[in-house]
Amino acid sequence: MIRAGVGVHEASWEAPARRGATELLADEIVEWIQGAMAQMRRPYGIDHVAVALACKDASGRIVCSNSFGVIRPTEFYGEGGGERVRAFLDDLSAVPGAERAEVVAALLSLGDLAYEIELGEAA
């Protein structure tokens, strides 16, 4: 089901060229995560998500990545989620500027997966 895109949300942004631009990008990423979470289903209260960020170079090769693991949405409505995103973007400063082209995010909604499984079992 994941390969078919069930519960998968993806987005991308231009990688920040300088360190000061990371704060704005961090806010945009957190807003995107919140928006994706607002769309997900929550059968039986299952509201966990898995979030991962990566930076790709111009050829699409991943040069830096981080997974936040499986977490509750509340993480992204407090400071915890924003701090995790900012820490990832700060890590990008170790990647040479010429190799930073795009920041990509993937969010997997476990609630959406559970909902689809429930539909399949009901059929």
Q: In this prediction, what percent of the chain has a pLDDT beyond 70?
A: 93
More confident residue, 105 or 4: 105
Mean pLDDT to the nearest integer, 93-113? 91
Q: Between 119 and 75, whose confidence is greater?
A: 75
Measured CA to CA, the distance from residue 111 to residue 48 in angstroms comes to 7
What is the average pLDDT across 82-96? Answer: 91
Residue 121 has pLDDT above 70, yes or no: no
pLDDT band, residue 123 (cuts 50/70/90): very low
Strands (E), the chain: 8-14, 49-56, 62-71, 102-109
Greater confidence, 58 or 118? 58
- On whether residue 1 sits in a domain, the answer given is no
Of 16, 26, 24, whose CA–CA distance to 99 is shortest?
Answer: 16
Domain that holds residue 20: 8-122
pLDDT tier at 1, thresholds 50, 70, 90: confident
State the Cα–Cα distance between residues 58 and 56, nearest whole angstrom.
Answer: 7
Which among 108, 88, 103 is positioned nearest to 11, based on CA atoms?
103
Give the per-residue pLDDT at 20: 65
If you average pLDDT over residues 77-86, what whole number do you get?
91
**Residue 73 lies inside a defined structural domain of this protein:** yes
Q: How far apart are CA 49 and CA 67, in angstroms?
A: 11
Residue 2 lies in a domain: no
| Domain contains 101 | yes
Number of folded domains in the chain?
Answer: 1
- Asked if the structure places residue 79 within a domain, the reply is yes
Whether 3 maps to a domain, the answer reads no
Q: What is the CATH number of the domain that holds 40?
A: 3.30.1490.100
What is the mean predicted confidence (pLDDT) over 30-52?
Answer: 94
